Amino acid sequence: MVFTKEDRILIKVLRQSKGYSARKLLEEFPDKNWSHSALDQLLRQIDTTRSADRKSGSVDNAELFVVIQEDAPGTHRTIHQVARETGIITTSGCTESFTRT
């Protein structure tokens, strides 16, 4: 789940000022289509680091791995392999892989 920068700020403010839980956020913003598990993860990050910011460079690193693979047809890395190599945390159940299209 990818939260916009504005979403992350809103969630952080509501968590710190009013103690909103993932359930309360989902009730208040049903049109956002946030997943409960992604909210739980973000709320844990906010509680432990007091920050809702993304890890810098993580998306750039993942994109770099995808681009590198474009020059090697027939090769691919799974999301979990790219995550391990870039330090990005993934959730279980991901079955997609980065392949050349």
* pLDDT, tens digit, 9 for 90 and up, residues 10-44: 999 999 999 999 999 999 999 999 999 999 999 99
Give the tens place of pLDDT for each residue, 50-84: 888 876 655 555 565 555 555 666 666 666 666 67
Q: Quick one: pLDDT at residue 53?
A: 84
Give the bridge partners for 98, in sequence order: 77
Q: Residue 21: CA atoms inside 13 Å, Cβ hemisphere, count?
A: 2
Can you give the pLDDT at residue 75?
A: 63
Q: How many CB atoms lie within 10 A of CB 11?
A: 22
Residue 7 above 60 pLDDT? yes
Q: What is the DSSP letter of 57?
A: T
Report the predicted TM-score, pTM, of the whole model to 2 decimal places.
0.55
